[in-house]
Structure 1
Amino acid sequence: MVEALAQAEEVIAVCADTAAWALPEHELIAALDTAHRVEQRLAAVKLDLIRELDGRGIARAHGASSTTVWLRERLHLTVTAARRLVDLAVTLDTGNPAVRQALLDATITVEQARVIADAAATVSTTAGTEIADKAIGVLVDWAGQFDPTLLRRMATRILDHVAPEVADATAEAALRAEEARAVRDRHVTISSQSDGRLRLSGVLDVEAAALLRAALDPLTAPSGPDDTRTAGQRRHDGLADVCRLALRTSDLPEHGGDPTQIVITTDYDALTRQLRAGTLDTGLQLTPGAVRRLACDAAIIPAVLNSAGQPLDVGRQRRLITGPLRRALVLRDRGCAFPSCDRPPRWCDAHHIQHWADGGSTSIANAVLLCAHHHRLLHHSDWTVRLTNDGHPEFVPPAWLDPQQLPRRNHYHRRT
């Protein structure tokens, strides 16, 4: 298969080098149709490969927490896109060979395949596999006329066409299935931009949407006739207010032994005299004014750093890595230190490099931040971690994964 795909890649490269402007209209349209068919057939092959990778557990063998996370890193996808690929690959493999074949034949698109597979699963549950097969046939035919949005809308009433005698009885089940899909597809994506801002996107289920609206609506009304903010800006400010209100309560769960908090590092003189910016635990910077504003409602904790800016051992001789020692660890690692992991500090545990039970000290020289998955991995695999001469952790993979066992570092948290 690899050789055949490599040959296809070479042919596509030749097509890419061909000037589209020189094609007559009929050839231009024919080329577009052919490229579209090839794209769908390649998508079917890609889904087969993903399903096989997932079935073998290759992602976990390589240290990833799931196939979704592994695909995100390997193919540079968003988490949402990777998860949708894995879900569709499993769905087509486990009960929809006709949908898979239609995709291979390029008579449907990937998005249409997802719609048809969802509808078939609902019909199969409520009316049986025989009627589900009929539904697939009808929907595949309709896919030649309707886009995925219209196709999904029509799929909700597919039983009216293939089994009207049971359509009414299964309408309620279809609604329950739609609710289940809404729960499955719920997500919020937070994407960091180069200047420190965040881009939010996602889909909320009905309950979460109602809660968000109930929390935001009182905070998004114009503050007066002189309020020049747009509706989007008011929603932004309202969301920030919700977060501030939540942080002021004592109801939020603790993270690694500390209450929920924002950690900002700045020089004392810079803080009092507004000389320089402050640094968040994510590595991003805030203006002096923003630091002083946040400091009005914050605990100011002194820390001693060496000439290279590395936090020194705070000397806490205790079993748990909490308080000042954890804050020093956050300043150093900025998040899960395992290679390529993007988990932030609040999602991480402090791991003793030399186990406490083996005489390891509770100090910054014997600790590393790890997310729950990679913390378990370090305890139950041949991966090892050590601190280098510059005071940062590096990880040595097992020989079966890398015969040379070249040390690896996490560069994700230091991109800025």
Structure 2
Amino acid sequence: MIDALEQAEAAVAACFDTPVWAAGERDLVAALDAAHRIEQRLAAVKLALVRELDGRGTATAQGASSTAVWLRDRLRLGVGAGRRLVELAATLDAAPTGVRDALASGLVDVAQVRVIADTVQTVHGTAGTEAADKAVGVLVDWATRFDAALLRRLGTRILDHVAPEIADAATEAALRAHESRTARDRHITISEQTDGRLRLTGILDTEAAAALRAAIDPLTTPTGPDDTRSAGQRRHDALADVCRLALRTGELPERGADPAQVVVTTGYDPLARQLSTGTLDTGLQLTPEAVRRLACDAAILPAVLGGAGQPLDVGRQRRLISGPLRRALVLRDRGCAFPGCDRPPRWCDGHHIRHWADGGDTSLDNAVLLCGHHHRHLHHGDWAVHLGGDGHPEFVPPAWLDPEQLPRRNHYHRRR
């Protein structure tokens, strides 16, 4: 074996020194196919050697704590890679002969072997030895045409081909088992960071995952050529928009006697001077810009506080863009009015063109619909908005974007 491997190594080295640029396209493709087959055959030999060494206890005899650790030092692999190599060697050793032969012949690769072995084991436990033997042939044939990911998906219906009489019942049983596992494993962990941000981790069951994707996927597409957010940032903003929409419906369960809501406390005079920070009901602070943005489409509840900060008099809510005014705004703007945005009205806030704290009134002539992203963009960016002569919103870009600062409109939403 050593002599054969040394000869193979020399042959491979000679191939590496051959200038590929001189070969024709057909020869290059044939050489690629051959190199791939040899790679898989060598993988089969390597796995057989690893399995034998692991079985003999060579690693522990040489002072290593495990074969994976020994492989790390011997082959300069990561411990995780070494562990996966040992596990795959054991899987291949226990797999049917047809699977080992397929890898040794170069028909399948290592990733496909893992899929075939897992699938055959499932078929054996469900339908018996005869069906498992049939499954090997079917899966190896599929592996010559499909990669490991698609092979795994096709393998979920393997019983249709090798044991159709029990396929439907087995599929239903597998789905119920999967549903039980996902129900058991579902969880969301919310970890508060020291600066007030939250870290979300968890696993959603299949139904909740589908609902989440249906809700946020339409909101994760870039809003235009100037949308520089990363994919992760777009998903973050989409989740925030979904939460705002849920709060806006007013249909969430009450907490105590109050509806579900975000509560921010700030002073009116500093707010009017654009200097006021805000305090959430969690005790965390918001910047003046964030406070003013939230105030655009939020209920304001004026309160008179005593010297110690205790409430002495609480007035009525006012200046909220809601009811008939919001309906008129929706009829006029049909969705986010920012140029190029396709967000529908239900994802939008009402924005005061001249802020209420600056003396702007709550009227159709002083309001515009903006989605969450463009609402933040307008508050933090250099864009300006006003109503054109026909009463529809126009947005003036910053000079660095358009030196002429020609007003732009949203032409996405259909106009009557």
Q: Same fold (TM over 0.5)?
A: no
Larger relative contact order, structure 1 or 2 (CA cutoff 8 Å, min sep 6) = 1
TM-score by length of 2: 0.44
